[in-house]
Structure formats: structure tokens, C-alpha cells
Structure 1
Amino acid sequence: MSVLRASLCSLLVLAGCTAAQDDGPVTPEYLGVKTALLDGDLVNFMVRLRGSDTPEAVEKYAECAAAQYALIRGYSFARLVRTNVSNQAGTWAADAVYTISPDLPRGLATIDAVVTVADCGTSGIPTV
């Protein structure tokens, strides 16, 4: 009887630990965007955020910034050239370069600025 009781107590303790560890989804804290025009239609975006377990959140943040920047400049499209992502002490940083253009650019990583900015707003991701 003592072994059964000990086993039940152990299961209850484990169940309690599992429930206590689940704090729900974490909302990223967006730490800002720095923009630099490199050459004509080539733009560099430096973005940072905290509160994400994966780099996809900071990459999406850079995409949102690029889409809004394109609209501000009177363009409709952007194309990703490259993104470098790093994580230091829980803060994600992305150094992303995009081209912006009035017409759909060649390439696979193109974004429609109007659609992307609307999606960012729906997702709660800030733009420039």
C-alpha cells in the first residue's frame, strides 16, 4: 500500500510541475528599427526584439519594416536580398537588406508592400 501511495503522490507532484511551467504564449517586445538607404533602391533594416524563442519573429519584423518603408517612398514592392540574424542574451537582432521598387521585382523573395503591411497590422507587428 505504501508503494502505491508514493507512486500516486509522485504522479500528482509531476502533474503540478507540468501545469506550473506552462505560462502560455510569450508576446515579443519590439525594440525598434534603424533604416539606412544604401544605394538608390537598396535599403538596410536593423531590427531588434526580445521575447521570442525563434528567429522567425525578428525576420518578420524586418519584413514589416521593409514593406512600410516601400510604401512611404511611394513604391509597391520589396525584395529580400539577405538577412543576418543573431541572438545575444535573449535579444534577437536582424540585419536585413531589401530592394524597393514600383513594379514587381524579379526573384523569389518578393513582397507586396500593401498586403504585407496589412498582415503586419493584423498580427500586431509594428512597422517603421
Structure 2
Amino acid sequence: MKAAWIITALPLAACDPVPTAEQFIPDYRGIETQLLADDLVQFDVEMTNAITMRDVEDYAECAAAGYTLIRGWGFARHLRTNVYEEAGVWKADAVYTISPALPRGIRTIDAEVVAAACAERGIPTV
């Protein structure tokens, strides 16, 4: 006697929708700056379609680079970044010191170099 095979199909309605290309294109929703002291600035950024937390951190760094250049200075030093996601919207608040000369520390950025890299990647600055 031959064995009978029974094949069951999973209902298609139970499957997750197939991602679209638009879901992988970052949507940068804005930058707010708050001057905390003459050389201390907080950047609040918001975006959707971030793949990782690093995408949001990069957006905040680009904001810091642009702001530093607007102030006529050349360097910034990262102090902290808090990243969180709520209902598909990624937010970060980052604090940087800005200065005309290279500051001490290991997390420093050359604002001109970083702003150029941000422009190449399509990430907005201030």
C-alpha cells in the first residue's frame, strides 16, 4: 500500500506583510537644538525607518557637526546620546561640547569632515 501524503497550506493572511523599499529609506523628521552653555549644546533628533540605533546616533552627530560649523567653530566632543523608539519613531537626545580647537577626549569630531560625510550619505545637518 502506498503512503498518502497530506500537505496543509498555511493561511496567507497570517503572514507578515512583505517589506517595501520605502521602509528602508530613512525619514529625517527634524532637529531641535538647545544651547545649555556657551560651548554645550543638546540636539534632539527624530526619524523613522531607522534600521539600528546607530542610524539615529549618526543623525545626532550630523546635527552637531552642522551646528558647530554654523557657530564658526571646527570641533565637537560627544558627551552622551540617549536613543529610544516609540511606535516606530526613533528619537535621540545628544549632548556635545563645541570648540574652535580640537578638544581633549577620545570622542571628538572634526565638524567639517563629519558634515561632508553626512552630505554624502544624505543625512541632514542643522
TM-score over 0.5 for the pair: yes
Q: Pick one of 102, 106, 109 that aligns with 1:108.
A: 106
Equivalent residue for 1:95? 93
After superposition, the CA RMSD in angstroms is 2.3
Equivalent residue for 2:43? 45
Structure with the larger helix share: 1
Structure 1, gaps ≥5 residues long:
11-16
- One-letter amino acid of the structure 1 residue matched with residue 109 of structure 2: I
SS in structure 1 at match of 2:78: strand
Instruction: Count how many residue pairs are aligned between Structure 1 and Structure 2.
Output: 120
Equivalent residue for 1:14? none
SS in structure 2 at match of 1:70: helix
Q: So what's the TM-score if we normalise by structure 1?
A: 0.83
What percent identity do the matched residue pairs reach?
54
Kindly state the Cα deviation for residue 76 of structure 1 after the two structures are TM-superposed.
0.5
Kindly state the Cα deviation for residue 94 of structure 1 after the two structures are TM-superposed.
0.5
Q: So what's the TM-score if we normalise by structure 2?
A: 0.84
- One-letter amino acid of the structure 2 residue matched with residue 42 of structure 1: L
Moved over 2 A (4+): 20-25
